[in-house]
Amino acid sequence: MKIRLASTLQKDSIVDGEGIRTVIWTQGCPHHCPGCHNPSTHDFKGGFEVDLETVKDEIKDLKGQDGITFSGGDPMYQAKACKELAKFAKSQGLSVWCYTGDTFEEVLEDKEKRAFLDEIDILIDGKFELKNRSLDLKFKGSSNQRIIDVAKSLKENQVVLVPEYIEPKVYAPLYQKGEDLFI
């Protein structure tokens, strides 16, 4: 089986999930979110194809990584191949995170995507929304996106967010522009 990637595996990422991670950048995304930080990954014919065994060999040789993260593009549109890689990564003791523009609920409706979900520890779901963009968010680009504990969500039959990544609601600014702030 083959997978279409946007680039070679990116090691030592600290922004694509908890810990030190290797990112698998998949090629192809139907969402075309305005403001996407990876528009070159949208074309389903772009990037390059590689055999899964080659990627597994690279995963096997990883050192000093806490896990792998599927991003892109949208990995859910190559769910069968990604599932195989995720399963292999877990057999190597690595955690699995995945970004998708689909919602958790949409993923549940598709047989292949649902099967991939079984191999994912943390899912960041939802399209990137430029109007909700913030550089203060951890591991996501816009506030509408959710960081989901997949195992708990499947067990409880409802979306369970990872508590440490739930942003507090900000109801009013702490001070007005132009005021001095003394702490």
Summary mean pLDDT of the chain: 92
pLDDT at 52 > cutoff 50:
yes
Q: Residue 147 carries which side chain, given as an amino acid letter?
A: I
pLDDT tens digits, one per residue of 104-129: 999 999 999 999 999 999 999 999 99
Least confident stretch, 72-76, 127-131, 157-161, 174-178: 174-178
pLDDT tens digits, one per residue of 10-27: 999 999 999 999 999 999
Domain architecture of the chain: domains with CATH = 2-165 (3.20.20.70)
